[in-house]
Structure 1
Amino acid sequence: MMELQRPAALLTAVILMVVCSTAEMAGVRLVDGDGHCSGMPQVLYEGNWSIVDSVLFDYRNAMVVCRELNCGNAVNVTFRENVRKEDTNDAFLSIACEGKESAFSQCKQRDQDPLDRINNIIHSTDAICSDSVRLMDGAGLCSGRLEVKSHQSWTSVCEADFDQKDAEVVCRELSCGTPQILQEPLFGEGEHPFGTKEFQCNDTENRLLTCSTPDREEQNCAPGKAVRLTCSEPDGMRLVEGNSRCAGTVEMFYNGQWRKVVADVWNIEMAASVCKKLDCGSALAATKTKTGRDEPEVGVLISCSRTNAIKCHPIRIRQIDRLAGVICSEFLAQPTISVSTPIRVSRSLQGPEVFRGYSFTITCSTQPQYPGGSFHLRLPWNNRSDSQAAVSHSASFLFPTANDSHQGNYSCVYENQVIFQNDVFQKENQSRFHRWSPGPFNYNFSSESEPHSLIVTDFSWTPFITRMLLVPFLMLITCSFIFLIFNKCGHFFIRGAGQERAAAAVPKESIQLISL
């Protein structure tokens, strides 16, 4: 009977998720924080303060909360431990904002996640606002006209009192990237007066108001001179825990720190976006792997735009069940190729020269990413190749006698079959049917070096004879010149040295006479 009720309850919860509540929310607050501008969000709903569930609570929600509380911009949203409903008497609400609302009551209320409803779990968050600095009338959190809170009121900042180091601190305080544009002319003048603070940061501070700020009695900033700033968006991504920058667990820089990406909605299309963003070629597989940790770990749920394949953005923080991973086509580092001969190799404009009739060796090598593998040396004639197993990540190909057929372009191709440990993986041909295959994922990778041009030329004794005769001759001339100079002028040096010794002995004799 219980098995029949569970799908029915799940279906009912899914239907309720898309139904907006008609009840009114009368206010919002942040509790259990350092002040009224940080803490766990609660909303006044039907006369009671209710916990705001973190399932839909993200930066956009935090922006509205901070705006309503007159606390500047949202700079951080952190995940709290799960709370079971029976452990608290507080009600809870799931609320979704677009980020442009002036009050939290204008956001849409939705029902709780169906699985959390069945498991009786509340996800709560902490929101942290910047109660002293904000960027207004821009395209997002990280751009706009700079305003600073002073004596409980917001003021604009004059561009004459602001420089690049100050901009670095503001972008850091707002958890954005680095300053990109200073004095962007598109953000208007605003309605707040200019303040009297002149900021003198040294780029080590984390908050603008901790910088040196000598006050002036009055502000003479002309209209149109307010600071307007654009910081880079905090959407950095990287791959970790792999032997290549193009394979591993996905991490996103979010809320001022690197967080692992949750695999709840992960697929091969999102993996392709990450590979393209990191300049790692195409996605061979998207992977999902258990964390392997006993204690809960918090990650970030992301979404990647299909209209702009290199743009991924965070949705919300969430407890990790499985980690999102990706394996890109540019997994292996590019190998290198070099030429050596028993006789010193000369170099022309076309490339290194080897001598006809003498031996030479071509060496292929690669970075120590994975053991094993093999090298294939592509030869300049008949599209042939020679192969050897990699030993200590390199292989050497010996050519006993150079002739005209050896002239041309060579390249090294490194191949290695790599096995990736993961729970499940999805390849491109599986995305249409949303199918996943059990791990591990293995793939035969290959990477080719840059072409290397080789010139075959006749050996000539002339350079060696010239070198053998010219070097001793130059040494003989140099030694003879030094000998003649010393023979002609050496007595001056000897005489000068004797006079110095005699002068040094005079004071000693004088001292002895006086003592007698």
Structure 2
Amino acid sequence: MRNRKQEETLQFFTGFVFSLVLTSSTFTTGQIRLAGPRSTSCSGRVEVFYSNAWGTVCDDEWDITDANVVCRQLGCGTALNATGSAHFGQGDGKIWLDNVRCSGDESSLTSCGHNGYEKHDCGHSEDAGVVCSVNLPKPSISTGSAEVTWGQQVSITCSIAASPLSGTFILRKTSGSFRVTRSSDSSSATFNIPKVTLDHDGEFKCQYEKMMSSQTFTSPFSNSVRLRVSLERPIISLTSPDGGLVWGPGGAEVTKGYGLSFTCSINPRYPQGDFSLIFSDSNITETRPAVNNSASFNFPAAEFEHQGNYSCVYEVTMATQRFSSDEAEPISLIIKSSSLLLVSSVSSGILLLVLLVSLAVCLRCRRKLCSKQPIPSDQNQSLYSARDAL
């Protein structure tokens, strides 16, 4: 009697062997497949099943007529390109066919003329491939820099593994109407944007088109690449209309009570936007529209609460999207006491002290004089008379 574990094991191996039998029985001599890196169901390295093994085809005399037979046999339409030199990577194992010579009417590749199986003078570096019309391979897309500043140049490259000749690459933006085409005789095309603007901010995709017998065959879209366009940092400056500004090692020093003015400016090529003055020591920001690409923020009289770090940001609204620049290099503001007020306070203090000292000296001297000089008798008598009269 078998236990349950033995039964499960037997069922597993029985099913596994049965699966192998079914799998191997699905391949018959003369079948073909497309393989290799970046291959699809209708583009790739051509491989033939013969003598219970898959093998490749040499690219000697390999042309579009041979490729057409392969594409038709696979149900992939017509051939767009017959590739050589192991374009879809090198195979391994056998090289079954060489010097294939199809007339174009054959139902299968193995029905075409050739040297015979495994009769060749090739290496796998000469493996042949096809690109069929029904399923063009998916292109790839890349950009030199995903983040660029307004006005900079950016390049976006589209490429396709199959490299069908004389095709057209299409660069599209996933939102908006941006669409640029470029014809190419190679497997790639580069789209140069000399000066990016905020309109170029977003995602881009590539597509490939190939004209064949008055028909247009189109590949799937590539994956998207995100291009971020930012604004350059504005410039912030500080002036004092009253002349109370001095630049010191710690930053800008403005005398208390004097007027001061911050000015934010940006490159004139930018569109109309708003400047925001940012005070680092407070959550309060002040925003003003740009006039001639600048804006001024005025303080009539500097107070000690104005002391701190100041910067500014430029913002532009395009459609429903808002773009903000990085903060400008900050200015450190120090408020100092007025020197005239200090001198006046010191002078007043000294004068008051002198007056107090003088008064004390006078009082002391008066006491001394009064104690040392007796009043004459006649003067005493007068004083007494005056007192009695009162």
Q: TM-score range by the shorter chain?
A: 0.3 to 0.5
Q: TM-score, normalised by structure 1?
A: 0.33
Q: TM-score, normalised by structure 2?
A: 0.42
